[in-house]
Amino acid sequence: MITVICATHRPKSQTLSVVQKYKEILQDLGQDVEMLKMDDLPEDFMVTNTFGKKTHYLEGILRDKIIDSEKLVVIAPEYNGSYPGLFKVFLDAVKPSVWKGKKIALVGVASGRAGNLRGMDHLTDVFHHLRAEVFSYKIPISGLDGLLDGNGFVADDNTVETLKKQAEEFLLY
Instruction: Inform me whether the pLDDT recorded for 153 exceeds 60.
Output: yes
Question: Does residue 99 surpass a pLDDT of 60?
Answer: yes
pLDDT at 52: 56
Lowest-confidence range among 16-30, 31-45, 110-124, 127-141? 31-45
pLDDT at 152: 87
Q: What is the pLDDT of residue 91?
A: 93
**Calpha distance 59→64 (Å, rounded):** 9
Question: In residues, how long is the chain?
Answer: 173
Question: Beta strand 71-77 with 139-141: parallel, antiparallel or unpaired?
Answer: unpaired
The predicted structure's pLDDT at residue 94: 86
Residue 115, pLDDT > 80, answer yes
pLDDT single digits (tens) 3-55 = 999 999 988 889 999 999 999 999 999 999 999 999 888 777 776 656 556 67
2-172: CATH class: alpha beta
Percent of the chain at pLDDT exceeding 70: 95
Residue 163 C-alpha from the chain's centroid: 13
How much of the chain, in percent, has pLDDT values that exceed 90?
Answer: 74
Domain ranges of the chain: 2-172
> In this predicted model, what pLDDT tens digit does every residue of 68-77 receive, in sequence order?
999 999 999 9
What pTM was estimated for this model as a whole? 0.94
Instruction: Output the pLDDT for position 47.
Output: 65
Contact 127, 134 (CB under 8 A): yes
* Residue whose C-alpha is closest to residue 37's, from 96, 77, 92: 77
pLDDT at 60: 86
In the prediction, which pLDDT does 137 show? 98
